[in-house]
Structure formats: C-alpha cells, structure tokens
Amino acid sequence: MLNSLKSKLLSSIKNKRINVFLLFLLFAFIILIISKLSKTYTDTIPFKVEKVNVPQEYVILDDSVSMNITLKTHGFRWLKYYFTKPKVTVDFSSDVHKNDHAFVYNKTKAYLNNTQFDNEVEILNLSPEKIAFRYGVNLVKKVPVKIKAEVNYALGFNSSEAFRVEPDSVKVIGPDVLVSKIKFLETEAKQLNEVRANLNEPLKLKFPENTSEVQYTVHQVTLKVKVEKFTEGTLKIPVKVINTPKNSVVNYFPKEVSVSYVVSLNNFERITKQDFEVVCDFEKIHDNQNFLTPELIRVPALAKHSRISQQRIEFIITK
C-alpha cells in the first residue's frame, strides 16, 4: 500500500516537472518569435494594382497589372503582407494623366509612401516606376427596363394607375460591338397573387449572355403598384347612330343602354354619364341584318373593364 502511494507521488512530481519544462519551452519560443518579428527587414514583393474611378467611357485593356515594391519594415508587417494579397490603389481621377494611347501613372516613392503606407513602412524602390494603362473607348447608353411580372389582385382590389418601375432605365457601358445590340433589359419573371396592398417589389434584371465585358449600373429594379379597393358602377348612356343613309330616318330602340364598369372607391363619384359615348355605326351592318351593334368609343381613364349590357339595337328605316 505504501509502495503504491509512493509510486503515484513520484509519478505526479515527474509529470509536473515535464509540464513546467514544456511551458517554459513554449514561453521561450514565443519570446523568440516576438523578438524576430520586432526586427526590421527589407524585401521585394509584388503588389496588385487596383484601379478606381476609371471614366465610364473608357475600358482599360491591361486588366492584371502589378508593381514590385521593395519595402523596409518590421516583421509583424511582413507577416501581414505574406499572408494576404497586398495591393496599391491607382485613382484615375487624380493619380494618372492621359495621352493618346494610355493613362500614365508616374508617381514618386514619397507620394506612394505618404498616401498608401504608414510611417512604419519605408519604400526603397518601385518597379516599374511608370505604368501605362492602355485603353479603348466604351459605348455608354441608357436602355429601358421591361417588366415581366404578373399581378393578380384579391377580389375587390385593383390598380387605378399604370405600373411603375424604378429606375425605369439602366446605363450600359462596354465595347460598341456588344452594347449596340442591347435594346432593352427584362426583369426576371415573377407572379404575385392575392394582392391587396401597395406593391414595392424588388425584381432582378436579366442580362444577355456572353456580355461579361459589359457593365450595368443597376442590377435590380423596384416594381411599384398603387393598389386600391374597387367597386362596380352602372350608368345609362344614350345611344347615337352614325353614318345613316341619306334622305332616310332611322328609328331605333332602346335609346339608352346600361354600361357597367369598375372604379376605385376614391374615384367613384368622379364618373358621370358624360364620360362615356356609345355609338352604332350604320355602315357596319351586314346584308339582311336587322339590328345595330352598340360600341363604346369613349370611356374615362379612371374606369376599368367597361362593357355594354345590351349587344343589339333594333331599328326601322322610314323615309
């Protein structure tokens, strides 16, 4: 019993010594790493050139440009550069000048050091010191947006206004040979059912295939629909006969027909019988036809689904 207890005690002490040794070893390694990273080093690494504020009417033909920069800085900063893809930004609104063939970037080491690096980094060399971005001319034009959406209203609801889309056009930028073929842009197809409230529905745009070189200023539009409660109305409208035979009198019956329509509750009182006009055209009578067909030739813009309840007007010709 005593021997077993003694063995466990010695084993525990031994394990503690090993753990302490490993802890000190780890601590020494961390101090060594910090010491190394705190020192200053010099090296040359490639920086990707990121282009910003390129004028829309130009396309840059040199798509992947890099700059080899020799830097002097501490190890912590080098650690960041080695594990990420470093880049420098070229602002085409301020950093370049344009000639007949290219946009030219020709800034000094001091300018780059002051604008894109902090005081812990010293730039020793740039290669190349000058970059020429060859360009081509883009075509810029606006094309309309066409909606491909089906709106089905709940019973008793409708819209008294035309659908609106915001924005209603998209600026298209790219090579002439591609942009000139784009006449309009359609939205993705969408069906909306049982609609009973105003719509502000986002719709994605569909872009033509094989136009990766083309830029679009908008990728999504909003369908706006004003939805209102609607009701049905009916009015008696006088019938007018036109193009009657010369030197003849045409008697017809009935002299009025019922016209039904659908209108929003807000506009119901604004609809009057003077807003409608019903005519029968005598020249549209077929051989041996003894009736006239009434037609609605004028309806108010506020009314929807206007229709005449009676489709035959009896007539007699007297001289």
Among the residue ranges 25-34, 119-128, 241-250, the one predicted with the least confidence is: 25-34
The span from the CA of 102 to the CA of 90, in Å, is 14
Any domain includes 1: no
- Asked which of 106, 137, 168 is the last residue of a domain, the reply is 137
**Residue 26 located in a structural domain:** no
Does the pTM surpass 0.75? The reply is no
Q: Are residues 96 and 53 in the same domain?
A: yes
Cα(54)–Cα(250) distance, integer angstroms: 76
pLDDT given for residue 100 in this prediction: 84
Per-residue model confidence as pLDDT tens digits over 192-227: 999 999 999 999 999 988 777 788 999 999 999 999
Q: Are residues 113 and 147 both part of a single domain?
A: no
131, pLDDT greater than 60: yes
Which of 226, 250, 267 is at the close of a domain?
A: 226
What DSSP element (H or E) covers 290?
Answer: none
Tell me: pLDDT of 148 over 60: yes
In a domain, 15, yes or no: no
* CA distances for 80 relative to 77, 84, 317, angstroms: 5, 6, 100
Structural domains counted in the chain: 3
Query: For residue range 66-125, what is the model confidence (pLDDT) as tens digits?
Result: 888 888 887 677 777 777 788 888 999 888 998 888 899 888 777 777 787 877 778 888
pLDDT of 25 reads 63
Q: Contact 171/96 with Cβ under 8 angstroms?
A: no
Query: Looking at per-residue confidence, does 263 or 82 come out higher?
Result: 263
> In what helix (H) or strand (E) does residue 257 lie, and over which residues does it extend?
strand 256-264
Domain that holds residue 301: 231-318
The answer as to whether 13 is a domain residue is no
CATH code assigned at 64:
2.170.120.30
Q: Does residue 269 sit in the same domain as residue 308?
A: yes
Is residue 17 one of the residues assigned to a domain? no
**Same structural domain for residues 154 and 125?**
no
28 assigned to some structural domain: no
Same domain, 119 and 146: no
What is the C-alpha to C-alpha distance for residues 180 and 103, in angstroms, rounded to an integer? 26
Say which residue, 219 or 317, is predicted with more confidence.
Answer: 219
